[in-house]
């Protein structure tokens, strides 16, 4: 099987062989539909497959089509027939799963299934989430389960109230995504700043960067407490390039001190790191095949 992880910023691809990735590589996510189609055609030539293509993908999916919840991320994905397009290119069956849901399943399996109520949170281009409850991955109606990036945050963006690309006000994604960190830093510093520089500043203890990362960590800690109160999660894995940036998980752990002890769920860095989506979708499809 070939596994693909399509995010708002990058596309990763690998062969899935005996429960492991081989020949992994990644390319930037093109901004326009024609460029994106060209990139997919090129990947299909480099990674031919007869058996199945497993895709972890940003957006909500019913298994055939894909919808961008945040319409600012991929403008041409509005009930886009993604499975049909990829089947045409690879000429094999295609399975689609939300990227953070795939990652949650990957972390559950690779943690030896010991945390039967687990949430994965990706802090990346957006903020995504996946839930394993009572040992089962929750996909939900139209694949929406776990879209915690679009829960309203009581901790607001530092550059003022913001309507998210999903249409809601002050979503977690407008506070804690890589896009949001860069936007807040740019607006408050008065010049262009990206998420990588925000973290460099945070680690160098620069005032503005510390404020932005601390505020984002408070919002994530609150989300974790809210989800614990709603669903009884027992373990949280943090991934995505922002979640994996040195200092971010420690900032979330510190921010949890503002919560009463009952709501401080254990948090750790995703053990699969940047491969959680690829490995997760591989495990998920293998799991479905065994249960058929």
Least separation, in Å, of the C-beta of 256 and ligand ADP? 21
| Residue 256 is a binding residue for ligand ADP (CB under 6 A) | no
- Give the one entry of ligand BMX, Zn ion, ligand ADP, none that residue 179 binds, where binding means its C-beta sits below a cut-off of 5 to 8 angstroms depending on kind: ligand ADP
Beta bridge partners of 269: 238
Minimum gap (Å) between residue 240 Cβ and ligand ADP:
4
**Cβ atoms of 175 and 155 closer than 8 Å:** yes
Instruction: Find the shortest distance in angstroms from Cβ 181 to ligand ADP.
Output: 7
Please identify which residue in 1, 4, 7, 183 interacts with ligand ADP, judged by CB under 6 A: 7
Q: Binding residues for ligand ADP, how many (CB under 6 A)?
A: 17
- Residue 184 as a binder of ligand ADP (CB under 6 A): the answer is no
Please say which residue, 106 or 129, places its beta carbon nearer to Zn ion: 129
Residue 3 or 225: the one with the smaller Cβ distance to ligand ADP is: 3
For residues 70 and 170, which CB has a smaller minimum distance to ligand BMX in the complex? 70
> Quick check: 130 and 120 in contact, CB under 8 A?
yes
Q: How far is CA 150 from CA 127, 144, 146, 281, in A?
A: 8, 10, 9, 23
Please, which residue, 55 or 148, has the CB nearer to Zn ion?
A: 148
User: Is residue 269 part of the contact set for ligand ADP (CB under 6 A)?
Assistant: no
Q: Is 195 in the site for ligand ADP (CB under 6 A)?
A: yes
Residue with the two structure tokens 């407008």: 174
Nearer CB in complex with ligand BMX: 14/127: 127
* Cβ distance to ligand ADP smaller for residue 143 or 240: 240
- Residue with Cβ nearer ligand ADP (118 or 270): 270
Instruction: State yes or no: residue 125 binds ligand ADP (CB under 6 A).
Output: yes
Q: Which of residues 58-117 bind ligand ADP (CB under 6 A)?
A: none
Least Å distance, CB 197 to ligand ADP, is: 9
130 belongs to the binding site for ligand ADP (CB under 6 A)? no
Q: 10 Å Cβ neighbour count for 134? A: 9
Least Å distance, CB 91 to ligand BMX, is 26
Give the separation between CA 21 and CA 275, rounded to whole angstroms: 9
SS3 track for the chain: CEEEEECCCEEEEEEEECCEEEEEEEEECCCCHHHHHHHHHHHHHHCCCCCCEEEEECCEECCCCEECCCCCCCCCCEEECHHHHHHHHHCCCEEEEEHHHHHHHHHHHHCCCCCCCEEEEEECCCEEEEEEECCEEECCHHHCCCCHHHCECCCCCCCCCCECCCCCECECHHHHCHHHHHHHHHHHHCCCCCHHHHHHHHHCCCHHHHHHHHHHHHHHHHHHHHHHHHHCCCEEEEEHHHHHCCCHHHHHHHHHHHCCHHHCCCEEECCCHHHHHHHHHHHHHHHHHHHC
What is the contact surface with Zn ion in residues (CB under 5 A)?
150, 164, 166, 168, 171
Please select the residue that binds ligand ADP; options are 146, 240, 280, 282, rule is CB under 6 A: 240
Q: Which does 128 bind (CB under 5 to 8 A by kind): ligand BMX, Zn ion, ligand ADP, none?
A: ligand BMX
Residues that bind ligand ADP (CB under 6 A): 7-10, 29, 124-125, 178-179, 194-196, 199, 240-242, 245
């Amino acid at each position: 099987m070939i596994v693909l992880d399509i995010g708002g910023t990058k596309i990763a691809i690998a062969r899935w062989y005996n429960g492991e990735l081989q020949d992994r590589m990644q390319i930037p996510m093109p901004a326009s539909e024609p460029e994106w189609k060209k990139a997919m055609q090129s990947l299909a030539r480099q990674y031919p497959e007869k058996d199945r293509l497993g895709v972890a993908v940003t957006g909500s999916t019913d298994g055939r089509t894909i919808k961008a919840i945040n319409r600012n991320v991929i403008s041409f994905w509005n009930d886009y027939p993604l499975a049909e397009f990829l089947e045409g290119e690879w000429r094999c069956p295609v399975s689609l799963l939300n990227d953070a849901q795939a990652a949650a399943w990957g972390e559950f399996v690779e943690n030896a299934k010991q945390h039967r109520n687990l949430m994965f949170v990706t802090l990346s281009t957006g903020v995504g989430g996946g839930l394993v409850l009572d040992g089962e991955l929750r996909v939900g109606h139209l694949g929406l389960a776990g879209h915690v990036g679009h829960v309203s945050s009581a901790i607001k963006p530092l550059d003022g109230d913001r309507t998210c690309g999903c249409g809601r006000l002050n979503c977690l994604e407008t506070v804690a995504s890589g896009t949001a960190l860069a936007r807040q830093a740019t607006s408050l510093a008065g010049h262009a700043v990206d998420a990588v520089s925000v973290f460099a500043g945070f680690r160098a203890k620069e005032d503005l960067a510390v404020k932005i990362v601390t505020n984002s960590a408070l919002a994530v800690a609150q989300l974790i407490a809210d989800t614990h109160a709603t669903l009884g999660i027992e373990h949280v894995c943090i991934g995505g390039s922002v979640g994996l940036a040195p200092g971010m998980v420690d900032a979330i752990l510190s921010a949890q001190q503002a919560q009463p002890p009952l709501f401080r769920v254990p948090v750790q860095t995703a053990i699969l790191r940047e491969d959680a989506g690829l490995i997760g979708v591989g495990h998920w499809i293998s799991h479905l095949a065994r249960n058929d």
